[in-house]
Amino acid sequence: MMRFVPLALYAAALAAYVWHFAVRHAAVGRAATTLLVAGAFAHTFLIGMQTMEFGHVPFASPTSAISTFVWLLALAYLYTEMTTDERAMGALILLLIVALQSIPTLQPGVEERAAVLESPLFGVHVSSLLFAYASFALACVIGITYVLLFKEIKAKHLGFFYARLPSLQVLDSMNQRAIVVGWVFLTIGLVVGAVWASQAPTTDPRVQAMQVQDPKIFVALVCWAVYSFEVFAARRIGWGGRRTAYLSAVGFAIVLLNFVPISYFLTRSHNF
Amino acid sequence: MHLLLIGVSHRTAPIELRERFDFQTRGVEGALRALAARDAAREAVVLSTCNRAELYAACDERDAGRQDLVRFLAEYHGVGVDLVAPHLYELADLDAARHLFRVAAGLDSLVVGEPQILGQVKAAHSAAAAAETSGPLLNRLFHASFGAGKRVRSETGLGSGAVSISFAAVSLARKIFGDLTDRSVVVVGAGEMGKLTARHMKAQGAHHVTIVSRSMAHAARTAEAIGGASAAPWDDLDAALGGGDIVITATGAAAPILTKARIEATMRSRRNRPLFIIDIAVPRDVEAAAGEIEQVFLYNIDDLQATVRENLARRAGEVAHAESIVGEEVEKFALWVRSRGAVPTIVALRQHFESVRHAELERLLKLSSLPAEARERVDDITRLIVEKLLLTPTEQLKSVGDQEIVGAYHEALTHLFGLGAHPRPAGPADVEPERPKVVDGSFNRTTRR
């Protein structure tokens, strides 16, 4: 029963964030944040319980990894909200959180850990990647709001988003920061994963499949290429603002693709 | 006790007349003191802005008070009563309260929703508080008006959106660049509008303003007029564009100066950093097609005017909501006023209890020779007992809103306790007897801060 609590609180927070976005009452905004904090607390408790039950943080199965990812995303968003005092992104982030959290809530996966995963490197690998993905999710949502505002200003039709979103400059730098943080963790996650795979006993067929041709690994490398371009090259060739915002959305679409369908159906190397 | 308001505003009087009723030139304090020296008003606040001069007063007699206020206004400004009368509005009690709430909310302003008026209302009250001409009724009224003003501001869009061209430009710049502190402004041409907009940008913190004009002397003069700006020769226009973030064009040129190709070239040199171009010249200085460039935001005078119109329309659409908030706040204030109807009864009841206590205390002290310390203790304890006994009845009486029920209570209490012996105090604004901290009624909150 406990596993429904975070989802219910997140859903309530989503409703409150949407309401706040529409009416802009300070009290509604505070209520939204309170609900999200409560949801994150309940989620922390749930993950803590599962950690005690399994003896490790539950992220070895794709389903529980989603739950942990959602938890990190909620925390990352709360951090952003508290440091910038900006709730405009909340509605979109919570939409993503609720959509993703319903997967582990409605279809809890069996958390069993294969012997090959008994390595501290595996923990670093997964947690870095989940954190990177949470950052990219934030960057994506910030990017989408950037584009919405950009279009309003460009079209000289100052309305709904103009009144509710922070400035383009603020959105752009928030996006940039989220991308850089995500890229650092993505890089750590991939490098540690490669090191770990090279050390793991090759008797396991899944370890044998850990090559660039494996869809999960291949798509992860594509992600890394996309975000590396965004971090290092985009602005130098004059790809500021809207183009990098679009790129963040594309990058996160690839992340999601890798995270949900590929994990479930296609990969041979990462189906633990 | 009545709340009275008389005043003139932009709605009732032309500027020539409003000027004569301005209290600020001679200082509001003097007016407050002069008003307090007359007998009619027990409490007074003067609200004086460029669009209105209003006197708020608490008077015992409605008609006499009103007449005296009108006389005061005319005499103080040396204007004949006959001249003032046609332009005056006079409101009493809840109508006066509603008027002040609407004023504080910006509903009565020339530009609906303008933000300064709330601060001016606050200043008017602080001045009266400092001059000690404000009392329980006006303190409560003004604090309630601050609440109404704040609610309207936060719960409606009445104050949102810029309603002048130059502020619309500044607000757009802030939406694009956020903080303007490290942004550079380039003004091309040296017209009045360009100067004004540049001044606004500077006031918002823009760190550098460059004036580019065909005549270097003209550019230098304009730069000096803005203050802290620099002038650049016409040939440096491209370089200035490369370094600027906000460009204001206002030349008298017949053909566009900034073509799409020219701006595209500068965009390359500035690595596509956003460029906000405000073209306030007619005929236009910037080719319309330049707005298609990815990171260029081009607004001409009509675009800005359109956003101003949209904002005004949006504000007009919020009026009904704002009025309903004002209505709610007036209701709340009315409830408080009605609860004050019970004050004479409360005062009489307290006086009765207190006199019994005093009589008994004196008798006790006469009969026995208590040491001073014990006397004090007895005094304290008996006072505490009286306070505690009266706490609930006091609160209950204050919470009664209906005047008839208040009357019934008054009769019953007078009968039960024989309160007739004490004269019934004159009105609800009478200050209650001092009470120890045990009792925390709503009255304590109304006293001046």
Does residue A55 register a pLDDT over 50? yes
pLDDT band at residue A146, thresholds of 50, 70 and 90? very high
The reply to whether residue B175 touches residue A162, judged by beta carbons under 8 angstroms, is: yes
Query: Are residue B118 and residue B241 in the same domain, yes or no?
Result: no
Q: What pLDDT is stored for residue B435 in this prediction? A: 39
Tell me which chain B residue has its CA closest to the CA of residue A157.
B307
Query: Are residue A267 and residue A166 in the same domain, yes or no?
Result: yes
**Of A62, A85, A113, which residue is a domain's last?**
A113
The reply to whether residue B303 touches residue A156, judged by beta carbons under 8 angstroms, is: yes
Query: Are residue B9 and residue B153 in the same domain, yes or no?
Result: yes
Of A153, A235, A239, the CB nearest to B176: A153
Q: What pLDDT is stored for residue A272 in this prediction? A: 55
What parts of chain B have a pLDDT lower than 50?
A: 422-449
Residue B320 maps to a domain: no
Q: What pLDDT is stored for residue A117 in this prediction? A: 65
Q: Which residues of B are catalytic?
A: 50
The reply to whether residue B155 touches residue A25, judged by beta carbons under 8 angstroms, is: yes
Query: Are residue A40 and residue A125 in the same domain, yes or no?
Result: no
Tell me which chain A residue has its CA closest to the CA of residue B300.
A156
**Of B128, B143, B158, which residue is a domain's last?**
B158
CA distance A140 to chain B (A): 19
Provide, as residue numbers in chain B, all residues whose Cβ is less than 8 Å from the Cβ of A25: 154-155
- HEC per residue, A171-239: HHHHHHHHHHHHHHHHHHHHHHHHHHHHHCCCCCHHHHCCCCCCHHHHHHHHHHHHHHHHHHHCCCCCC
Query: Are residue A90 and residue A129 in the same domain, yes or no?
Result: no
Query: Are residue A48 and residue A138 in the same domain, yes or no?
Result: no
Query: Are residue A105 and residue A131 in the same domain, yes or no?
Result: no
pLDDT band at residue A217, thresholds of 50, 70 and 90? confident
CA distance B307 to chain A (A): 7
The reply to whether residue B271 touches residue A25, judged by beta carbons under 8 angstroms, is: no
Query: Are residue A35 and residue A99 in the same domain, yes or no?
Result: yes
Predicted ipTM > 0.85: no
Query: Are residue A129 and residue A92 in the same domain, yes or no?
Result: no
Provide, as residue numbers in chain B, all residues whose Cβ is less than 8 Å from the Cβ of A235: 271
Provide, as residue numbers in chain A, all residues whose Cβ is less than 8 Å from the Cβ of B308: none
CATH at residue B264: 3.40.50.720
Query: Are residue A161 and residue A203 in the same domain, yes or no?
Result: yes
Query: Are residue B7 and residue B124 in the same domain, yes or no?
Result: yes
Q: Cβ of B186: how many Cβ atoms within 10 Å?
A: 25
Residue B322 maps to a domain: no
Query: Are residue B349 and residue B241 in the same domain, yes or no?
Result: no
Count of domains for chain B = 3
Query: Are residue B149 and residue B184 in the same domain, yes or no?
Result: no
Q: What pLDDT is stored for residue B427 in this prediction? A: 42
Query: Are residue A130 and residue A242 in the same domain, yes or no?
Result: yes
The C-alpha atoms of residue B70 and residue B88 are separated, in whole angstroms, by 9
Domain with B248, as residue range(s), is: 165-307
Domain with A244, as residue range(s), is: 118-272
Tell me which chain B residue has its CA closest to the CA of residue A158.
B307
The reply to whether residue A168 touches residue B175, judged by beta carbons under 8 angstroms, is: yes
Query: Are residue B153 and residue B175 in the same domain, yes or no?
Result: no
Provide, as residue numbers in chain B, all residues whose Cβ is less than 8 Å from the Cβ of A243: 294
> For testing the chain A interface, which of B152, B154, B175, B311 should be mutated: the one with the most A CBs within 10 Å?
B175
Of B154, B176, B273, the CB nearest to A240: B273
CA distance B286 to chain A (A): 16
Query: Are residue B154 and residue B70 in the same domain, yes or no?
Result: yes
Provide, as residue numbers in chain B, all residues whose Cβ is less than 8 Å from the Cβ of A241: 272, 274, 294-295
The reply to whether residue A156 touches residue B307, judged by beta carbons under 8 angstroms, is: yes
Of A167, A241, A242, the CB nearest to B175: A167
Phi first, then psi: give them for residue A17, nearest 5 degrees.
-65, -40
The C-alpha atoms of residue B212 and residue B219 are separated, in whole angstroms, by 6
Query: Are residue B130 and residue B193 in the same domain, yes or no?
Result: no
Of A153, A235, A241, the CB nearest to B175: A153
Provide, as residue numbers in chain A, all residues whose Cβ is less than 8 Å from the Cβ of B179: 169
Task: Give the lowest-confidence range in A72-81, A134-143, A157-166, B439-448.
Answer: B439-448
Of A156, A163, A238, the CB nearest to B271: A238
The reply to whether residue A243 touches residue B175, judged by beta carbons under 8 angstroms, is: no
Beta bridge partners of B296: B275
CA distance B299 to chain A (A): 8
Query: Are residue A201 and residue A68 in the same domain, yes or no?
Result: no
Instruction: Give chain A's mean pLDDT.
Output: 83
Instruction: For residue range A237-263, list pLDDT tens digits in order.
Output: 777 778 888 988 999 999 888 877 766
Instruction: For residue range B390-428, list pLDDT tens digits in order.
Output: 999 888 888 776 777 888 888 888 888 888 654 444 444
> For testing the chain A interface, which of B295, B303, B321 should be mutated: the one with the most A CBs within 10 Å?
B295
The reply to whether residue A240 touches residue B155, judged by beta carbons under 8 angstroms, is: no
CA distance B295 to chain A (A): 8
Q: What pLDDT is stored for residue A234 in this prediction? A: 72
Query: Are residue A194 and residue A125 in the same domain, yes or no?
Result: yes
Residue B372 maps to a domain: yes
Query: Are residue A168 and residue A212 in the same domain, yes or no?
Result: yes
Query: Are residue B346 and residue B396 in the same domain, yes or no?
Result: yes
Instruction: For residue range A108-136, list pLDDT tens digits in order.
Output: 766 666 666 667 788 788 888 888 988 99
Query: Are residue B69 and residue B139 in the same domain, yes or no?
Result: yes
Query: Are residue B7 and residue B151 in the same domain, yes or no?
Result: yes
Provide, as residue numbers in chain A, all residues whose Cβ is less than 8 Å from the Cβ of B273: 240
Count of domains for chain A = 2
Q: Can you read off the two tokens belonging to residue A77?
A: 């968003």
Query: Are residue B137 and residue B217 in the same domain, yes or no?
Result: no
Tell me which chain B residue has its CA closest to the CA of residue A20.
B155
CA distance B266 to chain A (A): 12
pLDDT band at residue A267, thresholds of 50, 70 and 90? low
Provide, as residue numbers in chain B, all residues whose Cβ is less than 8 Å from the Cβ of A242: 294-295
Tell me which chain B residue has its CA closest to the CA of residue A24.
B155
